[in-house]
Structure 1
């Protein structure tokens, strides 16, 4: 059964915490979204990042998004208690474009992120 539009909007609103943290360079909002046990996987400038979501928080808190940063949220999949969100990021830190995939579960009536995997666009990788 397809979820109601209001539920899609609730998932998008939850994902906006992720984008707000990245845009402001402050992990505070993302910490509200992700559960403590959340995991991270992806390559940043060719180096594999994996493990605790704390690595993402560290990146966000240490690099300003920049004036040209832009993002888009797409709710790719939504079931009763499961959602997949894609976030397109352009010009993070003034140079990096990402595609993030965030896995969310509805826990106690609230959408919480349990995992983040990402791709850095190859034309923005620096060695």
Structure 2
């Protein structure tokens, strides 16, 4: 059975905390979204990042999205207590395009992100 549109909107609102943090260069919004034990996986300028979501917070707090930054949220799936969100980012820090996948669980009635995996578009990798 498909979830009602209201649930998709709740997932999108949760993911907006991620986008707001990236845009503003302030991890406080994302800290409301991610669980304390959330994990991160991806390659940033060719170097593998993996482990604690704290690495994401450090990255966000050191670089804001910038003037030309754009983001789009796509709610890919919502299945009762599980959701998958894709976030497209263009121009983070003035140069990097990302595709992020966020895995969310509905915990105590609230959508929380437990994992973030991302791809840096190859034409934005600094060697």
Whether these two folds match at TM > 0.5 is yes
Counterpart position of 1:85: 85
Counterpart position of 1:55: 55
Deviation track 1:43-66 (CA, whole Å, cap 9, x = no partner) reads 000000000000000000001211
- Please give the alpha-carbon distance, in whole angstroms, between the structure 2 residues aligned to 1:63 and 1:85: 23
Counterpart position of 1:99: 99
With normalisation by structure 1, the TM-score equals 1.00
- Please give the alpha-carbon distance, in whole angstroms, between the structure 2 residues aligned to 1:28 and 1:72: 20
Q: What is the root-mean-square deviation in Å for CA atoms of aligned residues?
A: 0.3
Matched ranges for 1:23-34 at <5 A = 23-34=23-34
- Please give the alpha-carbon distance, in whole angstroms, between the structure 2 residues aligned to 1:65 and 1:94: 7
Q: State the aligned residue count.
A: 127
Q: Secondary structure at the match of 1:84?
A: strand
Counterpart position of 2:64: 64
The alpha-carbon deviation at position 3 of structure 1 amounts to 0.2
With normalisation by structure 2, the TM-score equals 1.00
Matched ranges for 1:6-45 at <5 A = 6-45=6-45
Structure 2: 5+ residue runs without aligned partners?
A: none
Q: Secondary structure at the match of 2:65?
A: coil
Counterpart position of 2:46: 46
